Amino acid sequence: KENFDSIPDLEFNPIRGKIVHAFFDKRNLRQESDGLADEINFEDFLTIMSYFRPIEMNMDEEQLDRFRKDKLKFLFHMYDSDHDGKITLQEYRNVVEELLSGNPHLEKESARSIADGAMMEAASICVGQMGPDQVYEGITFEDFLKMWQGIDIETKMHVRFLNVDTIAHCY
């Protein structure tokens, strides 16, 4: 994990810890188990990076759907920090507070209000009108899929390698 400290572009990312954590999350490593790996090998690194590959033009609808779900599951795992299969209000508050921590003009209470409002909107999308005695327990992966419906995650969540000379320098 300490090798990630030498990546300059991660240094100032407000959710740096969550990103690094995601690389060691066994759920993202497709090990179908809970917990964190102590270290990852090159194959594990490629597994994580595969979540960020761009879509291929020859993918059929089923492949695109699987591709989309894999990307969203990776994001879901970043939010679901206690690995219980739900993003609770507290987990969501933590992420929003981390994301907004670099803004000196925004107080912690404002960040909390933003998270609370977003969670209420999630409940209305996923559950609909709730009774006064109902409590929204948290966002399940199925709820997460509903919330991201219509958002083009396939082209937004990918890594582009710029300034890479693809011509071999063999003469």
Instruction: Dig out the tokens for 112 from the structure.
Output: 């909390």
97, 115 in Cβ contact below 8 A?
yes
Cβ(127)–Cβ(104) below 8 Å: no
pLDDT < 50 regions, the chain: 164, 171
Cα–Cα distance for residue pair 110/133, rounded to 1 Å: 26
pLDDT at 159: 65
Question: What pLDDT, on the 0 to 100 scale, is given for residue 130?
Answer: 67
- CATH number of the structural domain 2-155: 1.10.238.10
Model confidence, pTM: 0.78
